[in-house]
Amino acid sequence: MDANWIICLILMFITYSDADLTNIRLVDGNSSTEGRVEVLYNGEWGTVCDDYFDEKDAAVVCSMLGHSRTNAKAKHKAFFGQGSGRIWMDDLHCTDNDTNLFTCEQNCIGSHNCMHGEDAGVECSIYTGPKIRLVGGSNPSEGRVEVYYKNEWGTVCDDSWDSKDASVVCFTLGYSRENAVPKSLAHFGQGEDRIWIDDVTCQGTEKDFFDCYKTMEYHNCYHFEDAGVICSQEGAVRLAGGNISSEGRVEIYNNGSWGTICDKLWDDADAKVVCGMLGFPSEGAFARKGGYFSLGEDNVMHMLDDINCIGNEKSIIQCSHRGVQHTDCSHINNAGVTCINEMLKDCGVADILIIIDDSNGSVGFNNSNMMKTLAKEIIKDLNSMFFRFSVLRYSSSVSKMFGLIEFSRLPDVIPSIDRIRYFPGTSTDTDKALKYARVSIFNNKRADAANIIILLTDGLPNNLNKTKAESDLLRKQGVRIFSVGVGNETKTEGLSLVASSLSDEHVFQVSTLGDLSLIINAVRNKTCKGTEFKLDTIKHRNIFFEVQNQCFAQVDLVFVLDSSTSVGNENYDLMKGFVTKFLRKVNIDNGGVRVGLLSYSTKVTVEFKLNSYNTKADLFDAVNAIPWRYGSTNTADGLQTMHEEMFNETNGDRPGVPNICIIMTDGVSNINYRRTIPEAEIAKEKSIHIYAIGIALKSFEEVNGIASDPASTNVFTVNTFDELEDLDEKIFAATCLVTTTLPTTTTEQSESGYDVIFMLDSSVPDELVFNQIKDVASNVTEELSIDDNEFRVGLMVYSSRAYVIAQLNGLSTKRDIVRVIKRTVYRPGKSNLADALDYVRQNMFTDRYGDRDFAMNFIVLFTGVDQSSNPYDAFRAAEKAEREQINIYSVGFYLNDTFEIDEVSTHPLNIHRYFVNGHGDLNDVPGYLARTERQRPYPSTTAGVKLLCPGDPGFETNKKEVQIDKDECREVDGLCEGGECQNTIGSFVCVCPKGHRLINDRCQGDGDEVYPKCQHGFYRCPDGSCESTLFDCKHAVKDVVV
């Protein structure tokens, strides 16, 4: 082996042994997450050459600096400016498994063939959305405005650029809105490559530059028109030392330097002001005291003390305080804040334990490092202020790295994961790690928290029986377990043994860090449940309860548990686990929900009544203490006790509060079986709603008779007791049906309105026709009541693709909307109406972009094309829109064929379709559309619509959380084969031809009938036997029509 190469390996080993976060930094970026990469070697900082430098190398840099590997971007050719002095690294070839830049494959330290014009840089980010920066100024508070879009930086054109636009840019970057100065004509130099944005029109009140009206990607500018701003840095604030961008130590800029704030008198009102300055919601902000986010540097002075804000100030400087730099605090008194970040999707409350397998030689050094990196990345990517994390490592023994701590404190403990050294034990005693988790980690649960284990292992446990027993005990306590096999040679037998069911949702194989997203998404899916949190319900950590309990404002709930011999002790524990897991979703402590429970076998035992316990903690203790009382199956007496004793005012039943019973059984009654269903009927006559859960049943007649009607929505069956673990969500959703009141009237002035999207067809072959379309759209706008917010209007142009010109919350005045319509650019191309309709439905009628829950939704389609590129896709897209209660009006310009517009428009056509065949017709359209929109009745309920919670078969939930009829005939293939499927509200029926009958969902005859299926377009026809027309099918046999 070459001597120089041996020396290089020794140097690399020494460097790696000493490497930590102080050996790498980012320089000259606009934030701590971007900049030129510099590494420290032999006491001297130097740069990294960009030869072969790619996203994998960038991901390692970001990970070393405490950021997520996800979306790390490599930058070349001294993107962040040229460094000076040494160039330490060249020809880097990091892989997904590398965790340290110094150990990646590369030239020997200091060996390169580069100049500083090739210095590498990176951009790290926990977000995937657009970003903004200032470039070319003499300080960070001024420069050319550039935005990050589609993985590339680009400039903003200065057309209509003014002080309002500049103020929003400055606010987005953390500066004050006040005294923002717009600059035009490339004042800070011309940019290169892309010009991303044109025609910016901000109101001046937006919290984010990207919320302003603007045209993305399309422009009529050159780089000598690049826009810039000068922001006022005095009084600006920033957050430092936090684990995510929305929390940290508060620092304020004054007279050329940054300083901290003393925490005397520091409270939530002060935190609200800081969060508002940084563009986060003021509501939900809370203060941190006592150096909560680390102390900061000793040479940084305290700027402010004795701050006393009301909470509505625009700047912290406007609050009462002792005066700038008049303070007697030390850094142990640094003030901090935690803001609610709308960009982070909170998933409620969860306690997450990560267990790292450090056992025998099978793990190996590489897999051990991989597990440590996975643990860190999982914590970083599951970034929620309501999560707590703990880490264990195990082999033949178990050691705790740190117990359950809040996410905001993780910067202090994550380095302890890096300090784990690989000392392989003698065996893989997974059962010991799981027992430790059960006894020492999850022994004192937060009542509101989901409990999750993520096990990182290389394979088979030492003792399969003990491991299975411990995992069963954890699952009975409601702990969800994910098993992650690390490495290419994982023994998969042990993964499914430990994991929760179903295996495909809880078992993962990871060979590179690129597989990490699978785990993250799985954990999020099982904890978030897709819940979006609204700011007006955020009150610190009560956010989880307020969202979960919208269906359980007041409920009296009784559980009836089958304790018969056939259930068994272990399965009875699983039934109790289901009860406690279900009750996590409701808030009992505020008195809204009361819970009682009885068990039955030969005899009935009232375990506790509705007024026995009023806290969730006491309820959980009571449920866990219930013993298994074996015997026969006397369901009748159990039901009788439920409706006579449990739902009784003496025992806590409240008049006027919905009564719900959930009964769980594994078999039919064998005592008093003739009374079982009659007792259930008596209960239902008393307005007690019964849900029945059948476990491993052979006959369903009794359980269907016990449940409330219809059985299809009130009976739930599973094949094994283990499957109860994932049934709680379905039951919880179903119970909304009887705890949610149907709205019938609107009482507030704001509870009526119309949200309208104008779709302008730019595929018309003549720009003159497009100009007429714009004129008509402008005139329609003039007829609508927009300024008082009765109508909101969004705008889209489409041809080969869709272009969003304005979202529903982008323009608030009639004048602005008309101005934008008239300035809309003609973009010719093919007519892709289908994708445009889908885009409006999925991306414009959303809460984020201004769609109001109470408002009716309309699309007004202005088109001058007879037929789009795929009309049948357009029909399906229109049908999807209408099924989400989006009504489509169409205005056709000079059409020769009306087939497509007739199918796309909402029926009846005499209301929803209009034609323009000459200039005289143009004047009729605006008033016509304005009148017909208002004349359409505003529904409280309509046929095929149920304003209920999810969970009813035959219905599906649209974006307004409204249950709408599911069209099984269109969505399910193979229904009613040989006949006609006809959709009904909540179901469907099969209509068979004459001489046929329905057998096993197929229309069948005796063989002499005419073949009933023909084809033209969507129809089928046997070869040579049918004559087809566009809308019917005629059999070749004379005078026989099918």
pLDDT in tens, 927-956: 555 554 444 433 333 333 333 333 445 556
Closest CA to 479 of 498, 460, 458: 498
Who's near 741: CB < 8 A, 6+ residues apart? none
pLDDT grade for 970, boundaries at 50, 70 and 90: low
User: Does 591 score more than 50 pLDDT?
Assistant: yes
Question: What is the rounded (10 degree) CA torsion for 965, 967, 971, 975?
Answer: 130
Average pLDDT of the segment spanning 187-206? 88
User: Does 494 score more than 50 pLDDT?
Assistant: yes
Digit-coded pLDDT (tens) for 716-774 = 888 877 777 656 556 665 555 445 432 333 333 345 688 999 999 999 988 889 999 99
Long-range contacts made by residues 577-582, C-beta under 8 angstroms, separation at least 24? 577/475, 577/476, 577/477, 577/478, 577/724, 577/725, 578/664, 578/724, 578/725, 578/727, 578/728, 579/623, 580/478, 580/620, 580/623, 580/624, 581/478, 581/725, 581/728, 582/662, 582/728, 582/731, 582/732
- How far apart CA 492 and CA 163 sit, in angstroms, is 62
pLDDT grade for 133, boundaries at 50, 70 and 90: confident
Q: At what angle do helices 767-783 and 814-823 cross, to 10 degrees?
A: 180
Of 470-484, 515-529, 550-564, 991-1005, where does mean pLDDT reach its minimum?
A: 515-529
Element (H, E) at 413: none
Who's near 281: CB < 8 A, 6+ residues apart? 275, 339, 340, 342, 535, 538
pLDDT grade for 606, boundaries at 50, 70 and 90: very high
| Residue 326 pLDDT | 62
| Residue 637 pLDDT | 95
Give the pair of three-digit tokens for residue 232: 């006022």
| Residue 919 pLDDT | 52
CA 477 to chain centre: 27
Closest CA to 366 of 481, 467, 489: 489
Of 146-155, 461-470, 560-569, 1016-1025, where does mean pLDDT reach its minimum?
A: 1016-1025
CATH 3.40.120.10 is the classification of domain 552-739: no
| Residue 937 pLDDT | 37
| Residue 536 pLDDT | 32
Digit-coded pLDDT (tens) for 262-314 = 888 888 889 988 887 776 777 767 788 877 776 666 556 777 888 888 887 87
Percent of the chain with pLDDT over 90: 19
- Write the DSSP assignment of 697-743 as a string of letters: -S--HHHHHHSPSPHHHHEEEESSGGGGGGTHHHHHHHHHHHHSPPP
Average pLDDT of the segment spanning 128-141? 74
| Residue 1021 pLDDT | 39
Average pLDDT of the segment spanning 521-550? 41
| Residue ranges of E strands in 851-904 | 856-863, 886-893
Digit-coded pLDDT (tens) for 836-855 = 999 999 889 988 788 888 88
**Where is pLDDT greater, at 48 or 696?**
48
Which residues make up the CATH 2.10.25.10 domain(s) of the chain?
959-1035
Average pLDDT of the segment spanning 159-177? 85
Percent of the chain with pLDDT over 70: 71
| Residue 927 pLDDT | 53
Digit-coded pLDDT (tens) for 347-376 = 567 888 999 887 755 556 566 777 777 787
Are the CB atoms for 367 and 361 separated by under 8 Å? no
- How far apart CA 72 and CA 20 sit, in angstroms, is 20
Of 142-156, 353-367, 530-544, where does mean pLDDT reach its minimum?
A: 530-544
Average pLDDT of the segment spanning 31-36? 82
CATH class of 959-1035: mainly beta
Q: Say which CATH architecture domain 754-935 belongs to.
A: 3-Layer(aba) Sandwich (3.40)
Which residues make up the CATH 3.40.50.410 domain(s) of the chain?
350-528, 552-739, 754-935
pLDDT grade for 461, boundaries at 50, 70 and 90: confident
| Residue 241 pLDDT | 75
Which residues make up the CATH 3.10.250.10 domain(s) of the chain?
3-123, 131-230, 237-338
Q: Say which CATH architecture domain 350-528 belongs to.
A: 3-Layer(aba) Sandwich (3.40)
| Residue 569 pLDDT | 87
pLDDT grade for 551, boundaries at 50, 70 and 90: low
Of 692-701, 867-876, 1028-1037, where does mean pLDDT reach its minimum?
A: 1028-1037
pLDDT grade for 538, boundaries at 50, 70 and 90: very low
Q: The CATH number of 237-338 is which of 3.10.250.10, 3.30.1490.20, 3.10.20.440, 3.40.50.300?
A: 3.10.250.10
**Where is pLDDT greater, at 1017 or 560?**
560
Tell me the pLDDT of the chain averaged across its residues: 76
Are the CB atoms for 124 and 62 separated by under 8 Å? yes
Digit-coded pLDDT (tens) for 387-418 = 788 888 888 888 887 778 765 555 556 666 76
| Residue 699 pLDDT | 82
Give the pair of three-digit tokens for residue 1017: 């377009």
Are the CB atoms for 278 and 312 separated by under 8 Å? no
Long-range contacts made by residues 214-219, C-beta under 8 angstroms, separation at least 24? 215/805, 215/825, 216/149, 216/804, 218/803, 218/825, 218/827, 219/157, 219/159, 219/195
| Residue 736 pLDDT | 53
**Parallel, antiparallel, or unpaired for β 886-893 and 802-806?**
unpaired
- How far apart CA 932 and CA 648 sit, in angstroms, is 53
Q: Say which CATH architecture domain 131-230 belongs to.
A: Roll (3.10)
Query: Which SS3 state, helix, strand or coil, does residue 758 take?
Result: strand
- How far apart CA 606 and CA 858 sit, in angstroms, is 55
Give the pair of three-digit tokens for residue 313: 């100030």
- How far apart CA 882 and CA 838 sit, in angstroms, is 11
CATH class of 3-123: alpha beta
Of 91-100, 342-351, 616-625, 863-872, where does mean pLDDT reach its minimum?
A: 342-351
